[in-house]
Structure 1
Amino acid sequence: MRIVSLDIQNFRCIKQAHIAFKSQTVLVGDNNCGKSTVLEAIDLVLGPDRMSRHPVVDEYDFFTGKYLNNDEPIQILSEVVVIDLSEEQLRYFNSHIEWYDTENMSMLSEPPASQTDKDNVVPALRVRFVGNYNKDEDDFEGYTYYANPPAIADGKPDVFSKKDKRMCGFLYLRTLRTGSRALSMEHGSLLDIILSIKELRPQMWEDVIHQINHVTVAAEPELGISEVLTSLQDEIHKLLPADTANNPVMKVSDLTRENLRRAITVFLDSGLRREDDTVYAVPYYKMGTGTINVLVLSLLRIIANLKQKVIFAMEEPEIAIPPYIQKSIITNVLSNSHQAIFTSHSPYVLEEFSPDNVIVLSNDMGVLNYEAAKLPPQVKLKAYREDLRRKYFESLLSKRVLITEGRTEYDVYSAAARRLEELDSAKYASFDRMGIALVNAESDSKVAPLGKYYKSLNKTVYAVFDKQDEAASKNIAESVDEAYEAQEHGIENVVLNGISEAALRRYTNEIIADGRWPSDLVGETPTPDVNYSELKGIMFKFFKRKKGEGALADLIAQCKADEFPTFVSDTISDIKSKIDSILLE
């Protein structure tokens, strides 16, 4: 069984959405665009325990908090379509089966028998959640039901029960955070999920509560607490009958089973021993981060192995987990689930997926849009696999991208932004702080195609490039949001013709003094009295010789505020200014 589509209305930050899923899917997008809401919307429909909460939804689950329109209830709607049902599931859901066209990605409306024989038409199950405010009860309510048939004899839809949901095998792991709940008995913890899968419900609560109720503390007379409590009883009896409020004692707690679920946790050997050589055990969350991470991974492996061929949804598996464990988690889940759906902000997670399986979400005033990432234009699969994969996914995770036409430009603008921020943070900012990922187009001919590609993913796209002919310049400008064109050819000329003489001489003297001057240019080693025009010519050869080694970026990184090439500093300042103006709107 796997989810092929999800429709959402009026749920949290989403007023309207339609998303098509692949077998393995990772959702990316800006913070608060709706990634977690998508998983929560699926959980409303397929999660066996989600309907046990009261209320199932509340005021803040409605889009903009509005649950009435002219005194009429507004509905939260989540509808899921699943296909690839097993033989057992087909028998179980027999009377509710519909037909889905995988080619057109749409449900068929009462198709003739001949249509259902086509290879691209498969059995499907369509299920809905509806939540709303009940004015009569002054409360919120929610139901899950089969979309087919739309209603049974009494006019009410056929309920999709907890037992029905368990047949679907949907497993949702919310954000792991630091793993502090992983081995507790709280609902939804990793340990609780394992016990649920194994259908184990330890009936220990009554015994524990009974034992606690028979434990009294501070009863010794010398502590003085019993005397105070007796005095309290005497005062009470002046106002109430003598057979009430008797025998006040202090006990450990008034714990309920829910309190106990949060309190009970697993202890582990700390590796230390007490003076009597007994083991000193500590709560597992007091262990080191590395140990907690390994525990989390181990629990996830157990879950994956127990729940073969399920729909596995997981929120931000990278939280507080190092890259190698992130990768291991993804590998385990993908190999042990029929479908896996993740949200993530980690390039280490994303690079375990092909670009076609990455869905980029964007939210426009409540309308959630999605786009499959696909391979960037003019990028060969081999180059993507070997060199570009992580950088590519870093750009997918950013709201804004800056396209440079080559590696040297990439390094120069990165170094310039960092240095300028150090010198004047009011006017300049690093690209990291501006939420911009830099993309190396590798040639000026690839700037426009990449610009169109990233704009199709609803990114804000900037591009910086050398002097172009009129047609190429216009093409780039039309492909991006903001185009910055230098008036010279070659980044070396842009920098050398714009940088101050003092900065260039200082850098030149430093590399000569440090013995970093190239041996093949030793005959042209600059002397202190070389004129500036000649110095620029020599250093042009030097930077061409050192292209790809970051030398030009090193020159920029040691500049003072008034020494930068004007085009470079003005470009960075203008980008920051435009972003600031958008944030202030």
Structure 2
Amino acid sequence: MFIQKLEIKNFRSIKELTIEPKNLCALIGPNSVGKTNILRALDLVIGEGWTTKAKIARELFLDTTKPIIIEVSFVSPITFTNKRGYEVSVSSVKLEMTLEPELSAKTTINGDNTFYDQEQFKKLCHFIFITSERQLTSELRVSQWTMLGKLMRLVYENYVAQNSGNEQDLKNKFAEKIKPAKDFLEDDFSEDEVTFKKFVNAFKKYCKENSAGLANEFEPVLDIYNLNWFYKTLQIHVKENFPDRHFDSEEVGAGMQNLLLVSIFQTYAELMGGNVIFGIEEPEIYLYPQAQRALYKNFIKLSKNTQIFYTTHNPNFVDGGRPDDIVLLRKDIDHGTYLLEKDDAFNAENAEKQKHKIYTHFNPERNELFFARKALLVEGDSDKILFSTLCENKWNINLDEKGISIIECGGKGGVFYFLGVCRLIGFDNYFAVWDKDEDLENTGLLDEAKNNSKGIELDPNLESVLKITDGDNAEKVKNAYEWAMNSNNNVPEVFDKVKNFLEGEEPQNISEDIINPDDIPF
């Protein structure tokens, strides 16, 4: 059960947006761009509860005079037999809400048909939203609203089903099995101290006295050994080797609680695969880099059977070799939240053909390209440290504050490669710097960047322009840094274009020519 298309209109920051997600869908963009709004839209349509007029609020509407429309279409219809014995097939679910002229909330299926079988549908398809504001303590408890509670309820129902569906017979068997432990715990072990036996006897005595005059006599049953309650009272404890102690999950720190919650999510996805769609914000929270990479790999594995939407600001949760997973988002006054349109060549098929080249070009640091508001593409480490130091020491440009990444591309060929990647992913806020001294068979994208004032070529190389000595990579880095730190050195005029790009919002002039995938090996 996977979503094929999600259409959202007039919801929060979204004027009109269509996403065709893959099994794993990474929603990437700056803060407040609208990533969470996409997950909230899904939650309204196929979340655990149905949206009624009680959930309508003015802040949900981008334009209060227009309706909110959110429609989810599935890859394959969700089919079931309803309580009346009819076959039901759900290909799409649509929610429409209005604020004016009157409050209304209506959920329909398959092109505005009335939806009568919502509860049965939710058992086969529901969306679980894990927000960045983790409700860690409550999520680690068993209740009807938590993943842990849903799993325990399913365990219980399956247990009953294996006993021919006779719940009472199963409880009787359980009572017989538990009797030795019950007798041991309920033993009146002291004449003076309060025991469970004394509590039961006293409580029953007063219930009997207070029930005088009732039409029917009653007797309370204090049953702490009900089969179902064993699952409901499940508690998670954490054992640490040093010191050798056990801790209740509510007593450990937020990092450990988040690890437990993520583990519950993974367990739920594995056991309930095909019946649930997940939305999770910032899965990287509280996790070390190694754990982040492990979780991302697990996302990929789980997505074979369970669709996962997630937002992230972490390069460990994207892979240039899985381009179809990546959804880049931006927002402006005219369009609201919108997608950066990817070139058709940016797809899984071409990525598979070039997976080894992608492996050599992409790493977590270069993955910052997917998260940057602006990107400065440079050949190597000496270029990167030069411009980073100039920004800090002479240009007074805070790169991190402005969301700018300087991407070290691994040579002139790498700059060419990442220029193509920018074009493929629809990212146009970039500038490139490269040396003239290395010959490439194909310089088309470099020439285009230079002609469109989106790049400069240093003749013949950086060291000559700065008039510093050449050397190995470490020596180049040292010389470039010391040159940038020297207050007596004047910045070459050729770098003014770099400074202007980093400082301002220059009009972007991008060629509309179709890219030949053979020219951009991605």
* TM-score, with structure 2 as normaliser: 0.67
Ranked by relative contact order (alpha carbons within 8 Å, sequence separation 6 or more), the top structure is 2
The structure-2 alpha-carbon separation of the partners of 1:14 and 1:334, relative to structure 1 and needing over 3 Å to count, comes to same
Match of 1:83 among 75, 82, 85: 75
Distance (Å, rounded) in 2 between the aligned partners of 1:134 and 1:577 = 44
The structure-2 alpha-carbon separation of the partners of 1:95 and 1:367, relative to structure 1 and needing over 3 Å to count, comes to farther
Match of 1:431 among 395, 399, 406: 399
- Give 1:412 deviation, angstroms: 2.6
Q: Which amino acid aligns with 1:363?
A: K
CA contact (8 A) 1:144 1:161 kept: no
Distance (Å, rounded) in 2 between the aligned partners of 1:561 and 1:181 = 57
Partner of 1:525: none
CA contact (8 A) 1:130 1:143 kept: yes
Please list the CA deviations of residues 239-259 of structure 1 after superposition, one character each: whole Å capped at 9, or x if unmatched. xxxxxxxxxxxxxxxxxxxxx
Distance (Å, rounded) in 2 between the aligned partners of 1:415 and 1:94 = 70
Equivalent position SS for 1:317 = coil
Distance (Å, rounded) in 2 between the aligned partners of 1:333 and 1:397 = 20
Q: Which amino acid aligns with 1:357?
A: D
CA contact (8 A) 1:414 1:430 kept: no
Partner of 2:131: 174
- Give 1:416 deviation, angstroms: 3.3
Q: Which amino acid aligns with 1:325?
A: A
Distance (Å, rounded) in 1 between the aligned partners of 2:381 and 2:133 = 37
The structure-2 alpha-carbon separation of the partners of 1:473 and 1:342, relative to structure 1 and needing over 3 Å to count, comes to closer
Alignment of 1:129-144 (within 5 A): 129-133=95-99, 135=101, 140-144=103-107
The structure-2 alpha-carbon separation of the partners of 1:81 and 1:401, relative to structure 1 and needing over 3 Å to count, comes to same
Unmatched runs of 5 consecutive residues or more in structure 2: 158-232, 509-522
- Give 1:493 deviation, angstroms: 0.7
The structure-2 alpha-carbon separation of the partners of 1:125 and 1:142, relative to structure 1 and needing over 3 Å to count, comes to same
Distance (Å, rounded) in 2 between the aligned partners of 1:79 and 1:371 = 21
Alignment of 1:381-392 (within 5 A): 381-386=355-360, 388-392=362-366
Match of 1:494 among 465, 481, 495: 465
The structure-2 alpha-carbon separation of the partners of 1:476 and 1:331, relative to structure 1 and needing over 3 Å to count, comes to closer
Distance (Å, rounded) in 2 between the aligned partners of 1:544 and 1:285 = 57
Distance (Å, rounded) in 2 between the aligned partners of 1:280 and 1:451 = 54
Partner of 1:300: 265
The structure-2 alpha-carbon separation of the partners of 1:405 and 1:328, relative to structure 1 and needing over 3 Å to count, comes to closer
CA contact (8 A) 1:129 1:144 kept: yes
Partner of 1:67: 64
The structure-2 alpha-carbon separation of the partners of 1:465 and 1:567, relative to structure 1 and needing over 3 Å to count, comes to farther
Partner of 1:462: 431
The structure-2 alpha-carbon separation of the partners of 1:75 and 1:382, relative to structure 1 and needing over 3 Å to count, comes to same
Please list the CA deviations of residues 448-487 of structure 1 after superposition, one character each: whole Å capped at 9, or x if unmatched. 66335425523411122346999987522356x643454x
Partner of 1:400: 374
Larger Rg: 1
CA contact (8 A) 2:465 2:492 kept: no
Distance (Å, rounded) in 1 between the aligned partners of 2:33 and 2:93 = 24
Alignment of 1:131-210 (within 5 A): 131-133=97-99, 135=101, 140-148=103-111, 150-151=112-113, 157-159=114-116, 161-175=118-132, 177=134, 179=136, 181-183=138-140, 191=148, 194=151
The structure-2 alpha-carbon separation of the partners of 1:353 and 1:448, relative to structure 1 and needing over 3 Å to count, comes to closer
Partner of 1:314: 280
CA RMSD of aligned residues (A): 4.1
Count how many residue pairs are aligned between Structure 1 and Structure 2: 414
Please list the CA deviations of residues 87-141 of structure 1 after superposition, one character each: whole Å capped at 9, or x if unmatched. xx366698664xxxxxxxxxxxxxxxxxxxxxxxxxx7111011112645xxx44
Deviates more, 1:367-376 or 1:433-442: 367-376
The structure-2 alpha-carbon separation of the partners of 1:389 and 1:446, relative to structure 1 and needing over 3 Å to count, comes to closer
Distance (Å, rounded) in 1 between the aligned partners of 2:126 and 2:64 = 31
- Give 1:445 deviation, angstroms: 5.7
Distance (Å, rounded) in 2 between the aligned partners of 1:444 and 1:387 = 12
The structure-2 alpha-carbon separation of the partners of 1:404 and 1:546, relative to structure 1 and needing over 3 Å to count, comes to closer
- Give 1:399 deviation, angstroms: 1.6
Distance (Å, rounded) in 1 between the aligned partners of 2:478 and 2:16 = 50
- Give 1:546 deviation, angstroms: 4.2
- Give 1:581 deviation, angstroms: 12
- Give 1:145 deviation, angstroms: 1.3
CA contact (8 A) 2:255 2:286 kept: no
Q: Which amino acid aligns with 2:338?
A: L
- Give 1:411 deviation, angstroms: 3.5
- Give 1:293 deviation, angstroms: 3.7
Distance (Å, rounded) in 2 between the aligned partners of 1:267 and 1:388 = 40
Partner of 2:449: 476
- Give 1:575 deviation, angstroms: 3.2
Please list the CA deviations of residues 486-517 of structure 1 after superposition, one character each: whole Å capped at 9, or x if unmatched. 4x310111222xxxxxxxxxxxxxxxxxxxxx
Identity of counterpart residues, as a percentage?
20
* TM-score, with structure 1 as normaliser: 0.60
Distance (Å, rounded) in 1 between the aligned partners of 2:502 and 2:151 = 49
- Give 1:81 deviation, angstroms: 0.7
CA contact (8 A) 2:366 2:408 kept: no
Equivalent position SS for 2:99 = strand
The structure-2 alpha-carbon separation of the partners of 1:406 and 1:576, relative to structure 1 and needing over 3 Å to count, comes to closer
Distance (Å, rounded) in 1 between the aligned partners of 2:368 and 2:153 = 37
